[in-house]
Structure 1
Amino acid sequence: MDWLLDPLNYDFMRQALMAGVLIGVLCPVVGTFLIVQQMALLGDVVAHAVLPGLAIANFLQIPLLLGAFISGMISTFVTTWIQTQSKVKIDTAMAITFSSFFALGITLLTTLKSRLDLEELLFGDILGITVADVWQVGLITVAILIAVKFFYKELLFFTFDRLGAEASGLPVNAINLGLMTVITLAIVAGMKTVGVILVMALMISPAAAASLLTTELHWMMMIGSGLGVLSSLIGMYMSYFLNIPSGPAITLTLFVCFLLALLFSPSQGVLTSHFSMAKGQNSLD
């Protein structure tokens, strides 16, 4: 038990583990909607699009998370505007916004002589999490989970049948705006822990793994969150004992979870499918 309790002797590890658990719960819940709507790239767009907001917020001496949130929301509006005002498809619109906002962010960080550490922004510094950061992430997590619970039926209808939701009178534009807000908030919350790039792994990988294990949206959220928490804890312990970066350790653990689901899913697993086919062939013989 010493190996399990030893990291808990340090404040920075306790705070990092708490933040990892919170992000591990939050990101897969939000990522589930992106996976089901086949919009995983949108999260990547927002994750990179927060950089201009961070640079400007740092220059104006306003809260960094506020700047990141505003910039992320603008990127979703730009993506939607490009798609609706032209024949450009959504994936192309997202790729254009992704590269443009990221380039603008790098430019602003340089020209405004920002003291922000670009490597820390991109890859995070979960070991530098403070108690205030944990509370901030906790409040965002609780707020988003309450919102998802409260509007679950509307989100479910919108996610699987947008045209049907619109025909039934649901305010699809408001629901879409709310979903974009939730995605941006989740990325902003995860930005401090694993960075704007690696947060996408926490948002997509556990949700994708869960989609291989179940077809029910609520079960996808719960299984995805469980995998997110498990991967965050394992990644943090690997980081502590093996002296490797925390963010990449968490991300690699997430990939292993996805790979196991891909191989051994009872209904969609690569190996289990082959085993079932072989068993069925033998029974026919």
Structure 2
Amino acid sequence: MPELRPQMWKATAMTDSRGELELRRLIMNALEDARSDAGTVTRDQLSSVDLGFETRRLIDQSRGIWNPRDLEATLSVLSTPSGPYDDAALDGSVFRYDYRAGSTDGDNRKLRRAYELGLPIILLRKVRDREFLPLFPVYVIADNFDQRHFLLGLDESLRSLDDPSNPTPTERRYISRLTRQRLHQPEFRARVLLAYDTRCAVCQLKHGRLLDAAHIIGDSEAGGDPVVTNGLTLCKIHHASYDSNMLGISPDYTVHINQDLLDEVDGPMLKHGIQEMDSRPLSIPSRRPDRPDRERLSIRYESFLAC
């Protein structure tokens, strides 16, 4: 498809889904630029996104679905984990989005239109008050009228599934891996970085691109749930040190460095970047419910001591 210049979309969007598709690409590019280091955007940001030639609202003021009047199809849907609808990652595969209560049409009509036209939408996952993780491009890959919900695919490849509600075992493994990469991991990272004010819990580095959300208990192990209390914001070097048990964190929130590493002499990076972290208190979230789980830290600290 030939690329449309920004000023050209208005002439085509009303009658040509190709023009609307190009506008959505421009919107998603602008949204990518607006994301914070944690990968999130605020409600204020979503209320006015600058496209260079106009500003666009990307979220409804009060509802969970945004259907701009001048667009053929829904632009964004909002999912709140504690909300009234049963939105969920369906069976670890594709994302389920329930119809708006009381109707099979109404607001649902334009989301159905996105399905019919194959237009990408934005899924906004609420991670805390007025803070959202935007996922895009997302596609409506099924409209289950009897069950009153849509299925959203987090990748365009999922549009080719013969039966999105009943994927084959091979398809399910692929979709589950994709959902983990596109939904669960970014959401875990966003929640953890926000809890720690986008700072390394060990050295206080505050550069989001150099920070990871590290699991205390690995996500493939028992207790390795993707929750903030099982997470730490760590810079790249301290994350690698933690994963390799060169750095440990005791349940009293104290940083410890492996004795062999403390005894080693190898220049300023080792000295200032790792050795000087020994016995330093861990920086923890101000909100008590977000603080690292001491039991998980204890289990992980045993592995550090055993090395």
* Higher Cα Rg, which structure: 2
Higher relative contact order (CA 8 A, sep 6+): 1
TM class, shorter-length: under 0.3
Q: TM-score, normalised by structure 2?
A: 0.22
Report the structure, 1 or 2, having the larger helix content: 1
